[in-house]
Amino acid sequence: MSARINPGALNELLAATEVGHVDISLEFRPRLDVGMNAVEIDRLWGEGYSGAGVKLGMVDTGVTGHPNLQLAGYSYWGNDPTTSDQCDHGTYVAGIIRSNHAIYRGAAYGSSIYSAKAANTDCIADTPAVNAALVWLDSKGAKIVSNTLGSNVDSNGNDGIEKYFDWWVVTRSVFLAVAAGNTPVGGSHYVDIPGGAYNIVTVGNVDDKNTVSRTNDWIYSTSAWGVANSTRAKPDVVAPGTLIKSTNNQLGFSDVRPDGLRITGTSFAVPHVVGLAGLLRHLDSGADYLELKGRVLTGDYFLRDTWSSVWAWSYIDGYWARQSSYAASGSVGHQQWWETNVYLHAGYYNTFTLVWNREMSAYNQVRGFSDLDLVLQCPGGVSDSSTSAVNNVEKVSMTRPTGTTCKLRVYGFLPSGITSQSFRIVGLSI
């Protein structure tokens, strides 16, 4: 018999006395197809979700016309008065999101995608162009947005553009996915500005080794992680971003540009996450940006409840993200508890993710950062807690041998100026 199972189940299978031998089959497929299958986005397609009716946006280097790319709208904000991609970059990103090719299919191939070209003629962008691009995308109703433009400067989360991004996410209710940045060999491993912003979803690059199986996947050596002068957990998620085959400027598909440059970097991991968020919005049109963030972070292939520099909070998994059906929202005051009852089914693995925003009073001014803790308390003194003082994500998990009603609790420690901190909790039970 054959089956697709996660690594935990594989260990169980290998240990079972009834099992004589296990063959691990590595499926080799064209690379864009591999990426989508590796992160189980294809399972959402199988259920009929394509991103139809969902508007996605991309801040990038423009998109060149391609038979498998249909844009809902495009504009430019740099000094290059064209909307096409002169940099051999944005067209690849667009294909990962929206290509409608039968094999090289983009994650949200049925969505409406808007391309905001922020790059100048030299393929470099300035902050005002990026900010203007975000404003334009918002005017088009694109509430799930990718930004692959970044620096090579270590982030501490407080640069002007990072504050702007945090403010933009909160005030416009935008799911904004941003490239973590690439660290060449020997360099500082910290995420690059603007990847350290709090309210965005920062994305790192996994090498899927061109196989659907994830047993051999690993974070790409140059994918940035960590925040300068802090123990903050960044990136938030990782996704395939190594040698990604996608739509190119020559009207075909490739994972290497004509000049030999490999389509590798955190740039190409971001559109996988944006596409997945688009599918989740198609699945549940009522899921706001914070719930989408919670679902993408909860839907970790490894089903872990801790952050690691390799897999972040989540190596994105379409199927698990889709199964993350529990969602609660609430708010908590300073040194107060918020709680609710949750029922944990016997033998099920349960994980809960708490997400909230750094609060902004203006585009360049932080109102404050609340320290929230998440606790799952079950009868008999059994509990799990997540109590970082620096992150705006907490995760807990638990499996109970018998069906049990437990308390899910959030504790708030708020700075002056914030009287109540709103949050979202997303849960997965499998």
Chain residues in the site for another protein (CB under 8 A): 60-61, 87, 89-90, 118-119, 122-128, 130-131, 148-153, 158-161, 163, 179-188, 192-194, 222, 260-268, 364
Kindly state the smallest distance separating residue 367's Cβ from another protein, in Å: 16
Pairing status of strand 253-254 against strand 246-247: antiparallel
Kindly state the smallest distance separating residue 263's Cβ from another protein, in Å: 7
The answer to whether 207 and 220 have CB atoms below 8 angstroms apart is yes
Kindly state the smallest distance separating residue 73's Cβ from another protein, in Å: 21
C-beta of 15 vs 185, nearer to another protein: 185
Kindly state the smallest distance separating residue 226's Cβ from another protein, in Å: 15
167: how many CB neighbours lie within 10 A of its CB?
23
C-beta of 125 vs 354, nearer to another protein: 125
Query: What stretches of 262-336 adopt beta strand conformation (E)?
Result: 314-315, 326-333
Q: Which amino acid is located at 296 in the chain?
A: V
Kindly state the smallest distance separating residue 163's Cβ from another protein, in Å: 7
Kindly state the smallest distance separating residue 356's Cβ from another protein, in Å: 23
C-beta of 254 vs 324, nearer to another protein: 254
Q: Which amino acid is located at 332 in the chain?
A: V
156: how many CB neighbours lie within 10 A of its CB?
16
C-beta of 160 vs 258, nearer to another protein: 160
- Residue 194 neighbours by CB under 8 Å, 6+ apart: 147, 150, 151, 155, 159, 161, 162, 165, 178, 200
C-beta of 126 vs 288, nearer to another protein: 126
The conformational region for residue 209 under phi > 0 = left, psi -120 to 50 = alpha, else beta, is left
The answer to whether 219 and 239 have CB atoms below 8 angstroms apart is no
Burial (0-12, 13-18, 19+ Cβ within 10 Å), 416: exposed
Kindly state the smallest distance separating residue 408's Cβ from another protein, in Å: 37
C-beta of 192 vs 359, nearer to another protein: 192
C-beta of 109 vs 190, nearer to another protein: 190
Nearest to 428 by CA among 275, 285, 294: 294
Taking the alpha carbons of 262, 63, 282, 341 in that order, is the dihedral positive or negative?
Answer: positive
